Amino acid sequence: MESGLKALESVLAIARRGSFRAAAIDLGISTTALSHTVRRLETALGVRLFNRTTRSVSLTDAGREFVERIGPAVTEIRGAMDGARSQRRTPSGLLRINASVQAGREIAPLVLAFLRRFPQMQVDLVTEGRLVDIVAEGFDLGIRPADLVPRDMIALSVGRPQRYAVVASPEWIAAHDAPQTPADLPLQECIRVRLPNGALFRWPFERDGETVQIDAKGRLTLDEAAIARAAVLDGAGIGFFIEQDVIDDIASGRLIRLLEDWTPSRPGFSLYYPGRRNPSAGFAAFLAMARDVAARRSGQG
């Protein structure tokens, strides 16, 4: 039963990701093992499910119909199996979590504490910039800034309030006038940020109820905070970050903070998930630990 279900889930993963390699990573197996699984299923069915070339993978007509029909069935079977497992008292199995890079750092201590407490559990924590459909992509939980959580999900605040930080290197400050308001920003010196959806990020500022958004016009456009940090440290211009990405640099003096009074606190991270009738023991245990963390932080606040 389980091996047959894994074969079906393999097909769904490849169809979802459009790549054997990406699907194999999601499933935690080798690309070779995944290819063998699909080939055996195709042989048993007597039909080819995928068109394969060296550069792309696509569903055949038969494969497309097959995926459309098995998708709901596999979801139901997995739900039934999770329901049965929920009767176990000892949490075991795999928990898949999708998070942004910053959210992954925030939740990592909880994940490690969870694994120490429940040695039969495994956690697959995937960090990526794009906001994914956690149900469609096979994740149990997602972690994102509170304002990005889909409305149809159950959300639990687990992170401390976040802030943005506008920074430049001491060398850059020595050669330029430090801006006192967002309007003073030299736009050509502001590093541009590309969001996961391809759009350019507009720098948001707020003070005393006044809100401003700035379009950076710098010559350098980046989509990775670590590279942007390195560029700003090198004197490439002004950068706009989540505070925790540069807080150590600010404390050490490697970077100088600008416009701090224009970057108030914003909502922290939320753990979110779809409603479940029969959550597994592992899922329920993780949520219980997350609620404990949230309650402690609330008490401290």
Quick: pLDDT tens for 9-21: 889 989 988 889 8
Q: End of a domain among 85, 113, 132?
A: 85
Residue 244 pLDDT greater than 90, yes or no = no
pLDDT of residue 83: 65
Residue range of the domain that includes 217: 162-266
pLDDT, tens digit, 9 for 90 and up, residues 156-194? 988 777 889 999 999 999 999 899 999 999 999 999 999
Average pLDDT over residues 87-95: 78
Residues 8 and 47 in one domain: yes
- Rounded Cα distance between 139 and 13, Å, is 12
DSSP of 52-110: E-SS-EEE-HHHHHHHHHHHHHHHHHHHHHHHHHTT-SS--EEEEEEE-HHHHHHHHHH
Residues 183 and 255 in one domain: yes
- Rounded Cα distance between 142 and 107, Å, is 11
What whole-number percentage of the chain has pLDDT above 70?
Answer: 94
Residues 167 and 258 in one domain: yes
* Number of domains, the chain: 3
Residues 225 and 287 in one domain: no
Residues 171 and 231 in one domain: yes
pLDDT of residue 185: 96
Cβ contacts of 241 within 8 Å, gap of 6 or more: 164, 165, 166, 167, 225, 228, 229
pLDDT of residue 84: 67
- Rounded Cα distance between 202 and 214, Å, is 5
At residue 89 the predicted structure's pLDDT band, cuts being 50, 70 and 90, is low
pLDDT, tens digit, 9 for 90 and up, residues 42-62? 998 999 999 887 778 899 999
pLDDT of residue 88: 59
pLDDT of residue 300: 59
Residue 242 pLDDT greater than 80, yes or no = yes
CATH number at residue 114: 3.40.190.10
Residues 40 and 126 in one domain: no
Angle ∠(100,79,284) on CA atoms, nearest 5: 60
CATH number at residue 230: 3.40.190.290
| Contact criterion met (CB below 8 Å) for 191 and 236 | yes
Strands 265-266 and 221-222: unpaired
How distant, in Å, are the alpha carbons of 2, 200, 213, 243, 262 from that of 181? 61, 21, 12, 19, 8
pLDDT, tens digit, 9 for 90 and up, residues 96-144? 999 988 889 889 999 999 999 999 999 999 998 778 888 888 899 999 9
Lowest model confidence (mean pLDDT) among 35-49, 145-159, 180-194, 266-280: 266-280
Residue 224 pLDDT greater than 70, yes or no = yes
Average pLDDT over residues 66-84: 81
CATH number at residue 16: 1.10.10.10
Residues 176 and 248 in one domain: yes
Average pLDDT over residues 13-32: 87
Residues 68 and 6 in one domain: yes
- Rounded Cα distance between 155 and 138, Å, is 18
Collapsed DSSP state (helix, strand, coil) of residue 252 = helix
Higher model confidence: residue 252 or residue 31?
Answer: 252
Residues 136 and 255 in one domain: no
Mean pLDDT score of the chain, rounded to an integer? 88
Average pLDDT over residues 206-217: 93
Average pLDDT over residues 267-278: 83
Residues 278 and 241 in one domain: no
Average pLDDT over residues 256-275: 90
pLDDT of residue 136: 81
pLDDT of residue 55: 76
Residues 241 and 258 in one domain: yes
